[in-house]
Amino acid sequence: MAKEILCQIKMIRYAPERPIVAFFRFLNAAGEYVITFPFRLQKPVTHFNEVMMDPSLTAQIDCGDPDARISVRITPCGRRYYWGRKLGRFLDNFRRKPQPALPAPEPTRIAPFAAQGVATFSARPLVSIVIPTRDHVDLLARAVETLFERASWPNKELVIVDNGSVEPETFDLFDRLRGRPDVAILRRDEAFNFARLVNEGVRASTGEVIALLNNDVETSDPDWLSPLVALAVDPRVGVVGVKLLHENRTVQHAGIALGIRGLVAHAGAGREADDPGPYAMLATTRRVSAVTGACLLTRRGVFDSLGLFDEKFVVEFNDVDYCLRAGAAGYAVVSAATPALLHKEGSTRQARPLRKQEVLDRALFMTRWGQSLVDDPFYPPELTLHDESLTLATEPRNG
């Protein structure tokens, strides 16, 4: 096995002239994915510097623009290059200019959204709460208790899709819940496919409004459903998401923006819960391009008309793909500023390198939606795409 050394990746874009995005997969001689990353190509030649890798790796490129042609070269950096970069970064500290004030926002980019009418107890649309799970009974029990059993919305049902649980404590919880007429528990002993689990749960449900939830979400607000159902039943709306917080009271999700890091990201993630963000983006119920499936509401009619979750996205991007299809069909995708739910993200999926299926999900997403990633219509163009910090971009971008 060749030794990894400090390398430079040079990406050469031959066409078109407009910015494009691509997903790069680097493979070793055995055909295994070693390094993968998305990237936005704005210049004809782009350098990705100081990467520890084997210079003999081969590259596969999934591009969102069918007209684009890209080549990739991997070259060792060398000591001269290394010290040149060090000197360049040192000099940059003296060249930095103070960030200018935010300009007035474009009204089409920051688009507040209010429901027409209010969903009330008298209207009583049946809400089907669908939760895929596998063990982690401590998390699931809190989700069931706070999001379903304590929820004040009177007309609701719960569908749990169990993907191969084995722990006795999980079955004890299932036995208790089976005594309720408004609870259904499906057993699916098969390879994990999040989209398929969601689709199975929705097919087994009967509600007009579907609320998809992860098993690691909870709330202290018994009225959490009311404002979200009010948005979900609005005929202009296709998808509704919600503000999610980490346990340390920082933002985990307040809408998904396209193009960040060359792919997608939760804009504003990591900010304090009470931080409104630029243009009050994080404190405004507004239109966005996508929301996370950790808490996603949609009407059954919309779900059926869009063809359910696409099961080709086994692990990742099934939720974003659904949102983008809803937007393409003319529906608004809305991120609600309130209520804020707690998401113990990472409790059921540990930090680790990307697995093969996740790489394939990302490659498929790039191929299908790459052109949309160049410019998010609901993300201000003066904000950075390098990360989700919502800070000003260091240089203007076009497209």
pLDDT of 118 reads 60
Position 102 in a domain: no
Looking at the fold, whether 17 and 153 belong to one and the same domain comes out as no
Region 207-216: mean pLDDT is 97
> Is 241's pLDDT higher than 90?
yes
Looking at the fold, whether 131 and 87 belong to one and the same domain comes out as no
- pLDDT, tens only, 37-88: 999 998 899 888 888 899 999 999 999 888 889 999 999 887 777 677 677 7
Looking at the fold, whether 89 and 140 belong to one and the same domain comes out as no
pLDDT of 281 reads 96
Alpha-carbon distance of 88 to 243, in angstroms, equals 40
Mean pLDDT of the residues in the chain: 91
> Is 238's pLDDT higher than 50?
yes
- Residue with the bigger pLDDT between 177 and 76: it is 177
pLDDT of 97 reads 60
Looking at the fold, whether 88 and 155 belong to one and the same domain comes out as no
> Is 348's pLDDT higher than 50?
no
Compute φ and ψ for 40, nearest 5 degrees: -95, 125
pLDDT of 347 reads 46
pLDDT of 232 reads 96
Sign of CA dihedral 217, 194, 282, 222: negative
Q: Which of 39, 72, 95 is the last residue before a domain boundary?
A: 95
Region 192-207: mean pLDDT is 98
Domain that includes residue 34, residue range: 5-95
Which tokens in the block code for residue 171?
A: 């079955």
> Is 361's pLDDT higher than 60?
yes
Question: Taking a C-beta distance cutoff of 8 angstroms, is the pair 287, 378 a contact?
Answer: yes
Helices (H), the chain: 78-95, 137-144, 168-177, 194-203, 225-232, 300-306, 318-328, 356-369
Looking at the fold, whether 193 and 72 belong to one and the same domain comes out as no
Percent residues over pLDDT 70 in the chain? 92
Question: Taking a C-beta distance cutoff of 8 angstroms, is the pair 209, 128 a contact?
Answer: yes
CATH number at residue 163: 3.90.550.60
**pLDDT band per the 50, 70, 90 thresholds, residue 98:** low
Enter the DSSP assignment of 37.
Answer: E
Position 396 in a domain: no
Position 191 in a domain: yes
Looking at the fold, whether 45 and 162 belong to one and the same domain comes out as no
* Lowest-confidence region among 14-28, 231-245, 309-323, 349-363: 349-363
**pLDDT band per the 50, 70, 90 thresholds, residue 399:** low
* Lowest-confidence region among 16-25, 242-251, 279-288: 16-25
Structural domain count, the chain? 2
Looking at the fold, whether 44 and 160 belong to one and the same domain comes out as no
Looking at the fold, whether 57 and 185 belong to one and the same domain comes out as no
The partner residues of 161 in beta bridges, in order of sequence, read 132, 186
Looking at the fold, whether 280 and 180 belong to one and the same domain comes out as yes
Question: Taking a C-beta distance cutoff of 8 angstroms, is the pair 9, 47 a contact?
Answer: yes
Position 381 in a domain: no
Three-state DSSP state, 240: strand
pLDDT of 99 reads 61
Alpha-carbon distance of 35 to 57, in angstroms, equals 9
> Is 122's pLDDT higher than 60?
no
Alpha-carbon distance of 148 to 128, in angstroms, equals 10
Which amino acid, residue 32?
E
pLDDT of 354 reads 81
Sign of CA dihedral 15, 20, 26, 32: negative
Looking at the fold, whether 53 and 156 belong to one and the same domain comes out as no
Count, residues in the chain: 399
- pLDDT, tens only, 251-310: 999 999 999 999 999 999 999 999 999 999 999 999 999 999 999 999 999 999 999 999
**pLDDT band per the 50, 70, 90 thresholds, residue 10:** very high
> Is 139's pLDDT higher than 80?
yes
- CA dist list (Å): 170 to 136, 149, 177, 179, 186: 8, 17, 11, 15, 13
Position 174 in a domain: yes
Position 135 in a domain: yes
Sorted by sequence, the CB contacts under 8 Å of residue 34 that are 6+ apart come out as 26, 27, 28, 53, 54, 57
Looking at the fold, whether 90 and 43 belong to one and the same domain comes out as yes
Position 382 in a domain: no
Whole-angstrom distance between the N-terminal and C-terminal Cα of the chain? 42
- Smallest CA-to-CA distance from 399 within 6, 21, 4 is with 21
Looking at the fold, whether 278 and 193 belong to one and the same domain comes out as yes
Alpha-carbon distance of 388 to 253, in angstroms, equals 10
Position 141 in a domain: yes
Alpha-carbon distance of 270 to 247, in angstroms, equals 11
